[in-house]
């Protein structure tokens, strides 16, 4: 009875071959703890998503090449600020910005769940990269000041060919979580 009740709760039909195992342990207070493990056959089609690295990929700095990139930002008086930073090949633009305290927010901490690391790339660099994923395009739809060559900084991984390239920051961002919240890198 208990087996069929759990099968019904999990939405599994009779006749479906399912490996079902339960184990019961009694705690000190006398309450039973029941744990279930269900494996569904592999013929079912499930959508998977790509691996997301919290904060971006981890780089071995002892073996990665150091390059320089330039950040372009419009100043408050109409002047243009150009900031040059060093970066390791394999880091994302968001990681580099956080390491050098560039005003690139990244409210989701690099997991492609917001548009606050929106960056504008030069035309030739944009066309040389792999196209943005569907998840990135969805987030870019919410970005402030979206342009044809916009990308999320957490999705652009630096290569040796990007040495000396310029990345433009938009005038503002939209943070639907908390206005003014700027996460600090770990």
Residues whose CB is less than 8 angstroms from the CB of residue 99 and which lie 6 or more positions away in sequence, other chains included: 85, 185
Q: Which residue has the tokens 């342990």?
A: 25
pTM listed for this prediction = 0.66
Query: What is the pLDDT confidence band of residue 18, given thresholds at 50, 70 and 90?
Result: very low
Give the model confidence (pLDDT) of 123-133 as tens digits. Answer: 999 999 999 99
- The 3-state DSSP class for residue 85 equals strand
- pLDDT category at 162 given cuts 50, 70, 90 is very high
Which pairs with CB-CB distance under 8 Å and at least 24 residues apart come from 30-39?
36/6, 38/10, 38/12
**CA-based nearest residue to 104, from 164, 34, 168:** 168
């Amino acid at each position: 009875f208990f087996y069929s009740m759990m099968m019904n709760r999990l939405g599994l039909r009779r006749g479906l071959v399912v490996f079902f195992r339960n184990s019961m342990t009694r705690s000190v207070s006398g309450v039973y703890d029941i744990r279930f493990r269900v494996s569904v056959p592999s013929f079912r089609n499930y959508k998977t998503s790509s691996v997301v690295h919290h904060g971006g990929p981890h780089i071995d700095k002892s073996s990665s090449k150091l390059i320089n990139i330039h950040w372009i930002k419009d100043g408050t008086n109409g002047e243009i600020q150009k900031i040059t930073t060093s970066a390791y090949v394999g880091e994302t633009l968001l990681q580099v910005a956080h390491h050098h305290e560039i005003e690139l927010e990244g409210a989701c901490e690099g997991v492609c769940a917001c548009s606050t690391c929106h960056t504008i790339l030069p035309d030739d660099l944009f066309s040389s990269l792999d196209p943005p994923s569907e998840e990135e395009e969805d987030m870019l739809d919410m970005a402030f000041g979206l342009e044809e060559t916009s990308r999320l900084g957490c999705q652009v991984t630096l290569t040796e060919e990007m040495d000396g390239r310029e990345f433009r920051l938009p005038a503002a961002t939209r943070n639907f979580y908390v206005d003014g919240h700027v996460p600090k890198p770990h």
